[in-house]
Structure 1
Amino acid sequence: MMEGTGFEGLALGQDLPDSQDSFAELWGNVFVFSSVSPPLLNLPLAHHNVWQDGNMEALLPEGFDEKLFEFPPEVSTADGVTPPASTVPVTSDHPGEFGFQLRFQKSGTAKSVTSTYSEILNKLYCQLAKTSLIEVLVTKELPTGALLRATAVYKKSDHVAEVVRRCPHHQKEDAADHSSHLIRVEGSQRAQYFEDPNTKRQSVTVPYELPQLGTEMTTILLSFMCNSSCMGGMNRRPILTILTLETPEGLVLGRRCFEVRVCACPGRDRKSEEIKSKTQIGTKQTTKRKNPAPTPNTSEKKAKSASSAEEEDKDVFVLRVRGRERYEWLKKIHDGLELLDRERLSKPTVSVKHEAAAPSGGKRLLRSDSE
């Protein structure tokens, strides 16, 4: 800076006299600057007259500020700056050191329910703009100012890079400032809505509240402001909701993830998807248990069929019959079959082969012309 401005009476690069004077003493002796226009010094308008009169001493500070050339303290990224959001959010559960867990309100699959949760599928079914109660549990005290953040992402890898937003139709009908946000926190005036400047992903935060007396959990109210089937929005693409427990600086303390389906009849859809899931699981297990055997030969098939028939005859089955008359008829049929089996076993089967008798003396029989 001295080379760009210079001081009168002091040549550039000249050593200080005696090389013992401090810079504070030099500052007190040198106060006349070379010709510099006022805008470069950012002087107030009231000081322009002082500059034109040449009374520069009035513009200088009374004493030397020892902290003039000290650098400002470095800001720690861990203490004061929110870490950047990842491009692809993590969807795996992580309770963390605080044992972060979620509980959902228990409700059946009746048609009248507005929100229901399936433990089998880890999936929440809810109606449009209807409140879903979610209970938050931790095992020990959280840091001061901890908050909960809810973010929606697409489940399939083909769409995970896209941002989950509401459809244009529902956005147009909503007059709120955060009308494009799919997830909304109800019942709290301290909820804040964010959009990441890099990824454009939207999220909503709410401060964590301590459990009330006699309870061990904190309840938050979430509502989803668009149907899963809305064109221009989710468009029948499955979504996941990531609920993270964070510090005010953005450090993640725990993470929980669950699937969400926004539909007109949550109870019906939950019931049908659970039945479908159980059927698929049973089919897979049956397929794994079956071991395909090699195809046997024709002779082996006949032998196995005969032996299997004998084995099946030895098996005993119980048949329940309703009504005495029907029982008597079936009993007569059964007795007749048993009698036939006994007669067949009592008569041994003899195979007779019709062969011509060989002539004595080794002579061949002469065949007649008629033969």
Structure 2
Amino acid sequence: MPPPKKLYTDDIPVLDSFEGLYGFDLLRPTSEETQDGDSSKPNTACYYFRDDQGWTNLYAKKAPNLWNLSYKCHNQPPDNCFLRLVPVYGTSDKQQEVIQRCFGDFMALQCPGLGRYSVIKLGHSQADYFYDPTTERLCVTIPYERPKEGCEYSQFSGKFMCFNSCFNGGQGSKKPLFLIITLERNLSG
């Protein structure tokens, strides 16, 4: 059964950073690794740039190009922790919409289960795509992994399977997209 197009509640996700009890942090590229937001896009699959508000933005081309995100915790979290990724629109008038693939990409790029609706695909064998009835959003989770010996950060890769600028039933205008990434703990089992 496909996920709904709009939320039934008026909950709007919080977009502010919060490290939590374990100091969860994403690697933010240094200023030498980023470009100015007004510079032309290089001919690469992915790069970071800083916008006028100082946010670090990821620009990535659509699949098959992969992007990598690095993360760490300052305090070791307990077992059964996982990362949850939830895409949401950045403008307040669109945050009630559930982001999913446009019809063209939905039909063209086959994936099993609810992964077929997701605009992101993670390169992790334990990625779990599902509709969360609590948040009413499409989510993907992967297990939290400690950094490998000698590394400061762990890393996962992903790709965009559809862009929100695709023609989507008359909703085809380009909209800013946020990817909310949280560290959570499975309390059951």
> TM-score, normalised to structure 2's length?
0.79
Q: What is the deviation of 1:184? A: 1.3
Amino acid at match of 2:116: S
- Against the structure 1 CA distance between its residues 198 and 217, is the aligned structure 2 distance closer, same or farther, given a 3 Å change threshold? closer
- Against the structure 1 CA distance between its residues 138 and 205, is the aligned structure 2 distance closer, same or farther, given a 3 Å change threshold? same
Q: Distance in 1 between matches of 2:10 and 2:141?
A: 17
Q: Distance in 2 between matches of 1:173 and 1:248?
A: 34
Q: Distance in 1 between matches of 2:85 and 2:93?
A: 22
In the alignment of these two chains, the number of paired residues is 165
- The correspondence for 2:133, drawn from 167, 173, 197, is 197
> TM-score, normalised to structure 1's length?
0.42
- The correspondence for 1:223, drawn from 159, 175, 187, is 159
1:194-217 CA-to-partner distances (Å, cap 9, x unmatched) read 102355410100001111111111
Matches within 5 A, 1:138-217: 138-177=73-112, 178-186=115-123, 188-197=124-133, 199-217=135-153
1:114-143 CA-to-partner distances (Å, cap 9, x unmatched) read 111124332111100221111102111111
- Against the structure 1 CA distance between its residues 230 and 137, is the aligned structure 2 distance closer, same or farther, given a 3 Å change threshold? same
The residue number in structure 2 matching 1:126 is 60
Matched-pair contact (CA < 8 Å) for 1:165–1:182? yes
Matches within 5 A, 1:201-280: 201-232=137-168, 235-249=173-187
The residue number in structure 1 matching 2:72 is 137
Matches within 5 A, 1:87-106: 87-104=11-28, 106=33
Matched-pair contact (CA < 8 Å) for 2:28–2:56? no
Q: What is the deviation of 1:189? A: 0.9
Matched-pair contact (CA < 8 Å) for 2:10–2:96? no
Unaligned runs of 5+ in 2: 1-8
1:244-272 CA-to-partner distances (Å, cap 9, x unmatched) read 0000139xxxxxxxxxxxxxxxxxxxxxx
1:12-68 CA-to-partner distances (Å, cap 9, x unmatched) read xxxxxxxxxxxxxxxxxxxxxxxxxxxxxxxxxxxxxxxxxxxxxxxxxxxxxxxxx
- Against the structure 1 CA distance between its residues 249 and 184, is the aligned structure 2 distance closer, same or farther, given a 3 Å change threshold? farther
Matched-pair contact (CA < 8 Å) for 2:80–2:186? yes
Q: Which has the higher strand share?
A: 2
Matched-pair contact (CA < 8 Å) for 2:130–2:139? yes
Q: Which region of structure 1 is more displaced relative to structure 2, 99-108 or 125-134?
A: 99-108
Matched-pair contact (CA < 8 Å) for 2:131–2:138? yes
CA RMSD of aligned residues (A): 2.2
- Against the structure 1 CA distance between its residues 234 and 149, is the aligned structure 2 distance closer, same or farther, given a 3 Å change threshold? farther
Q: What is the deviation of 1:238? A: 1.0
Q: What is the deviation of 1:228? A: 3.5
SS at match of 2:183: strand
Matches within 5 A, 1:5-84: none
Q: What is the deviation of 1:225? A: 1.1
Matched-pair contact (CA < 8 Å) for 2:46–2:58? yes
- Against the structure 1 CA distance between its residues 225 and 235, is the aligned structure 2 distance closer, same or farther, given a 3 Å change threshold? farther
- Against the structure 1 CA distance between its residues 248 and 236, is the aligned structure 2 distance closer, same or farther, given a 3 Å change threshold? same
Q: Which has the higher helix share?
A: 1
Q: Distance in 2 between matches of 1:156 and 1:218?
A: 30
Identity %: 28
Matched-pair contact (CA < 8 Å) for 1:131–1:223? yes
Do residues 116 (structure 1) and 43 (structure 2) align?
no
Higher relative contact order (CA 8 A, sep 6+): 2
Q: What is the deviation of 1:223? A: 1.3
